[in-house]
């Protein structure tokens, strides 16, 4: 069989092994581009005239290029985590499987070998293993799978998986049979019955282990899930960068958590807004209070936001409640940090449209937006009619007189007593004042008579925390201030709700964006002004506790600017703005170095370091140039030919020669490795002896001797590459 036909057969065999499992994985991961790349790779391998020889450099290039393909396309078309079972997420199946498949395709560009068939078979089996956890029921909830489902016309994923696995096994058996007879297989021998017996036993053991594993999984399903969860936590420890969970539960009986005090400077959000800081960013909203706990209203129902898919033909989806307002008004772009974990979005109160990489977005009538299958590192953009730092959520537009005014009966006497303090005799009665005036008096009352602290005294003997706060301690944090204000407003029949979120007023020294730290987590009240028929924000917390007093450290501002730049680049890539991501990379680098140089201290350090590196580079260059000048042109040519010879021998044998190793020691290493026949080693030894004689001779090398040694080196190279 001619070499070209042999290569073609090798490519066809490898494709037959890879194609079925690659297609299955693409169906499970909903990533058809992976299968397209594999098809293009196999097609390109047919046009390779001269196979690539195995060497350290060629293998490293293949691995690096495969990693670039995997990471780049995963950034643009991210794989959803719920496509795989826990073990798949633990071992990063969305990265490892495409990497192995791409490497199997690259193996067809190399010289045909039994090892590459083995590697392709292993890659195919890995893809099968990670694809077997998929549940058919996901077809009903994932629209992007309908194409595959209709194409296959299969109603049972188990049948599809069985057909795929059978196809892979059959192609592997055919490949192993052909490999044994292939001319590049060096171990063609007579039938070895002992070897065949071992193979048969291994197959039997594999079958027993498969069915035994299925039986164990069914019998110990709960225990295995717990083990997987433990391994996931061990695989992704939160060392040095804890993740902050923003819970949906508000319990005033407990004090501020220790992680908020310890990590108060931790940045949670980075926000880009026009001209001014975004101010209040809403997160959760609560209606019912009892026994120190806030809960969501019983009638609160999540509804789907309307959406417009792939806006600007990108990965972004635009979500809105009623009608799409378009891109009118101001845009506020929010990048959650890796430390932020919440199942709701932080948004300005007057948000009308949200652009993000997500499948679905739910909302409630009180302005809580919860995304599903959301790529958080892509960030999100909130469109508002006009940026308003004190905007509240304007829904519902009409409020029932009996809604949002409930409060515990046991607080009635306490609230009446506090109300008498706010509205003493001789002043106008609350019934004579407007709703807005009542809210202002309640706000001023807390500012004048209460003190802000993150370490309030805890109530005793099961006393309600609001009763203890208003009547005894009068010292507390924003949750106590907002809750107490809400109860007083409801006492005067003003509808209101308790809201938690983030304050965002801290500008980065670069002036490019604003940040919200963990210490900026805040609680406030939204009250419905009945005579104006609108919702407004009531800030009852004194100014000393508004969470806006964080400063910037010298190096902290530098490092955070780099993090912001990385956030922005990744977000652009996730959204599909590839060209913009590339431009952002360069623009952010220039801007960063510009800020560093313009800083008196930073500029001095940077310029000093740069001058030192330039001096060091020029010094080493002058030194190497001086050494080159001391050598004759003939010796330099002699060294170049030797380096080329060394490179080819190292690529063939993988026996490196270090800078400290002499030619004689390297020759001993080659002889001890037994990778080079003695006949070829003898010719190499003669060549190296002639090199030492010419290189270290006191006489000048003649052109005739130099040309003679070059011809000898070429002949030795050809001889060495034939074994």
The residue-averaged pLDDT of 288-292 equals 89
Q: Which of 13, 192, 8, 5 is nearest to 114 (CA)?
A: 13
**How far, CA to CA in Å, does 472 sit from each of 409, 480, 523?**
19, 13, 22
Lowest mean pLDDT among 6-20, 455-469, 526-540: 6-20
To the nearest whole number, what is the mean pLDDT of the chain? 79
In the numeric block, which tokens belong to residue 209? 């282990």
- pLDDT value for 80: 63
54: left (phi > 0), else alpha (psi -120 to 50), else beta? beta
pLDDT of residue 226: 63
Confidence of residue 280 (pLDDT cuts 50, 70, 90): very high
Token pair, residue 111, equals 């010289």
Among 169-183, 624-638, 648-662, the least confident range: 624-638
Q: Measured between alpha carbons, how far is 481 from 446 in angstroms, rounded to an integer?
A: 8
Please check the confidence at residue 136 and state whether its pLDDT lies above 60.
no
Distance from the Cα of residue 603 to its chain's centroid? 33
Among 3-17, 406-420, 534-548, the range of highest mean pLDDT: 406-420
Better-predicted residue by pLDDT, 88 or 268 = 268
Name the more confident of 307 and 213: 307
Contact 442, 422 (CB under 8 A): yes
Interacting residues of 121 by C-beta distance below 8 A, sequence separation 6+: 17, 172, 175
Q: Burial-class residue 137 by CB neighbours within 10 Å (0-12, 13-18, 19+).
A: exposed
The predicted pLDDT at position 135 comes to 45
Using alpha carbons, select from 101, 151, 157, 155 the residue that is nearest to residue 126.
101
Beta 306-308 vs 267-272: how paired, if at all? unpaired
Q: d(Cα 335, Cα 182) in Å, to the nearest integer?
A: 57
Distance CA 565, CA 588 (A): 6
Q: How far apart are CA 68 and CA 294, in angstroms?
A: 48
> What tens digit of pLDDT does each residue of 433-470 get?
889 999 999 999 998 899 998 888 888 877 889 999 99
Continuous segment of H or E residues that includes residue 341:
strand 340-341
The yes-or-no verdict on residue 346 having pLDDT over 90 is yes
Q: Is 522 exposed, middle or buried (0-12, 13-18, 19+ CB in 10 A)?
A: buried
Q: Quick one: DSSP state of residue 347?
A: B
User: 441 phi and psi, to 5 degrees?
Assistant: -65, -40
* pLDDT at position 236 over 80: no
Q: What torsion, rounded to 10 degrees, do the Cα atoms 448, 450, 452, 453 define?
A: 160
Beta-bridge partners for 294: 250, 289
* The pLDDT of residue 700 is above 80: no
Q: Regarding predicted confidence, which is higher, 256 or 613?
A: 613
- Tokens coding 222: 């709960």
Q: What are the residues whose beta carbons fall under 8 Å from the beta carbon of 319, sequence distance 6 or more?
A: 305, 306, 307, 353, 354, 355, 356, 358, 361, 369
pLDDT bracket for residue 645 (50, 70, 90) = confident
Which residues on neighbouring strands pair with residue 382, listed in sequence order?
332, 354
The full DSSP string for 203-248 is HHHHHHHHHHHHHHHHHTHHHHHHHHHHHHHHHS--SSSPPEE--S
Counting residues of the chain whose pLDDT is more than 90, the rounded percentage is 20
* pLDDT at residue 386 in the model: 92
Q: Residues 303-328: pLDDT tens digits?
A: 889 988 877 656 788 999 988 888 88
Half-sphere exposure of 326 (CA within 13 A, CB side): 2
pTM for the whole structure: 0.58
pLDDT score for 376: 82
Asked if residue 1 has pLDDT above 50, the reply is no
Structure tokens at 446: 């807390």
Q: Is the pLDDT of residue 369 over 80?
A: yes
Are the CB atoms for 354 and 361 separated by under 8 Å? yes
DSSP one-letter code for 676: S
Supply the pLDDT for residue 186.
46
Reported confidence tier of residue 501, pLDDT bands at 50, 70, 90: very high
pLDDT at 340: 81
Owner of token pair 């996901």? 138
119's CB contacts (< 8 A; 6+ apart) are 103, 104, 107
* 665 has pLDDT over 60: yes
Q: Does residue 156 surpass a pLDDT of 70?
A: no
State the Cα torsion 251-256-262-266 to the nearest 10°: 60
21-66 per-position pLDDT tens digit: 888 888 777 777 888 888 888 888 888 777 787 777 888 888 888 8
Give one word for 373, left, alpha or beta, with left for phi > 0 and alpha for psi -120 to 50: left
Is residue 495 within 8 A of residue 399, CB to CB? The reply is yes
723: pLDDT strictly greater than 70: no
Quick one: the chain helix, strand, coil %, rounded to 5?
Answer: 55, 15, 30
Find residue 358's DSSP bridge partners: 374
For residues 106 and 593, give the distance between their C-alpha atoms in angstroms, rounded to a whole number: 39
């Amino acid at each position: 069989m001619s070499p070209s036909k042999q290569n073609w057969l090798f490519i066809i065999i490898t494709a037959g092994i890879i194609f079925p499992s690659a297609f299955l994985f693409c169906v499970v991961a909903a990533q058809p581009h992976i299968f397209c790349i594999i098809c293009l790779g196999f097609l390109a391998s047919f046009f390779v005239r001269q196979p690539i020889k195995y060497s350290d450099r060629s293998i490293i290039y293949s691995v690096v290029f495969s990693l670039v393909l995997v990471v780049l396309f995963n950034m643009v078309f991210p794989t959803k985590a719920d496509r795989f079972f826990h073990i798949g997420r633990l071992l990063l199946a969305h990265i490892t499987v495409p990497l192995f498949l791409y490497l199997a395709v690259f193996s067809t560009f190399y010289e045909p070998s039994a090892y590459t068939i083995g590697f392709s078979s292993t890659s195919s089996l890995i893809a099968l293993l990670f694809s077997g956890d998929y549940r058919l029921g996901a077809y009903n909830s994932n629209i992007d799978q309908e194409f595959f489902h209709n194409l296959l016309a299969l109603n049972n994923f188990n049948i599809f998986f069985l057909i795929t696995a059978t196809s892979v096994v059959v192609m592997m058996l055919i490949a192993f049979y052909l490999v044994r007879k292939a001319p590049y297989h060096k171990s063609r021998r007579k039938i070895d019955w002992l070897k065949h017996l071992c193979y048969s036993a291994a197959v039997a053991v594999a079958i027993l282990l498969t069915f035994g594993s299925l039986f164990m999984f069914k019998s110990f399903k709960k225990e295995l899930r717990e083990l997987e969860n433990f391994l996931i936590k061990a695989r992704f420890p939160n060392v040095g960068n804890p993740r902050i969970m923003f819970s949906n539960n508000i319990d005033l009986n407990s004090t501020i958590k220790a992680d908020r005090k310890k990590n108060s400077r931790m940045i949670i959000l980075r926000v880009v807004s026009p001209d001014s800081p975004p101010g209040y960013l809403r997160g959760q909203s609560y209606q019912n209070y009892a026994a120190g706990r806030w809960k969501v209203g019983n009638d609160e129902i999540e509804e789907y936001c309307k959406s417009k898919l792939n806006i600007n033909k990108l990965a972004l989806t635009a979500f809105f409640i009623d009608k799409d307002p378009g891109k009118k008004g101001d845009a506020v772009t929010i990048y959650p940090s890796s430390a932020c974990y919440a199942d709701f979005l932080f948004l300005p109160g007057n948000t009308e449209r949200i652009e993000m990489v997500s499948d679905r977005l739910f909302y409630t009538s009180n302005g809580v937006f919860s995304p599903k299958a959301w790529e958080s590192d892509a960030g999100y953009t909130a469109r508002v009619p006009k940026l308003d730092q004190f905007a509240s959520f304007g829904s519902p537009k009409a409020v029932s007189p009996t809604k949002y005014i409930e409060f515990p009966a046991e607080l009635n006497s306490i609230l009446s007593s506090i109300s008498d303090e706010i509205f003493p005799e001789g002043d106008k009665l609350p019934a004579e004042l407007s709703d807005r005036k009542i809210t202002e008096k309640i706000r001023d009352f807390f500012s004048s008579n209460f003190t802000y602290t993150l370490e309030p005294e805890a109530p005793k003997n099961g006393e309600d925390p609001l009763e203890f706060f208003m009547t005894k301690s009068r010292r507390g944090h924003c949750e106590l201030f907002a809750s107490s204000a809400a109860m007083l407003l409801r006492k005067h029949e003003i509808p209101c709700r308790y809201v938690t979120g983030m304050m965002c007023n801290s500008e980065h020294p670069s002036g490019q964006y604003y940040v919200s730290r963990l210490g900026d987590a805040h609680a406030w009240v939204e009250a419905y002004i009945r005579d104006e028929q609108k919702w407004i924000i009531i800030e009852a917390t004194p100014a000393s506790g508004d969470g806006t007093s964080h400063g910037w450290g010298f190096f902290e501002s530098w490092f955070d600017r780099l993090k912001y730049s990385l956030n922005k680049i990744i977000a652009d890539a996730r959204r599909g703005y590839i060209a913009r991501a590339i431009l952002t990379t360069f623009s952010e680098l220039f801007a960063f170095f510009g800020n560093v140089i313009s800083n008196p201290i930073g500029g001095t350090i940077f310029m000093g370091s740069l001058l030192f590196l330039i001096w060091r580079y020029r010094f080493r260059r002058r030194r190497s140039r001086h050494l080159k000048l001391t050598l004759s042109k003939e010796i330099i040519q002699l060294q170049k030919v030797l380096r080329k010879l060394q490179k080819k021998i190292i690529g063939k044998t993988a026996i490196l020669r270090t800078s400290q190793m002499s030619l004689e020691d390297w020759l001993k290493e080659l002889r001890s490795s037994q990778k080079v026949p003695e006949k070829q080693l003898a010719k190499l030894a003669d060549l190296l002896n002639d090199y030492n004689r010419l290189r270290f001779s006191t006489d000048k090398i003649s052109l005739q001797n130099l040309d003679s040694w070059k011809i000898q080196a070429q002949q030795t190279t050809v001889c060495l590459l034939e074994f």
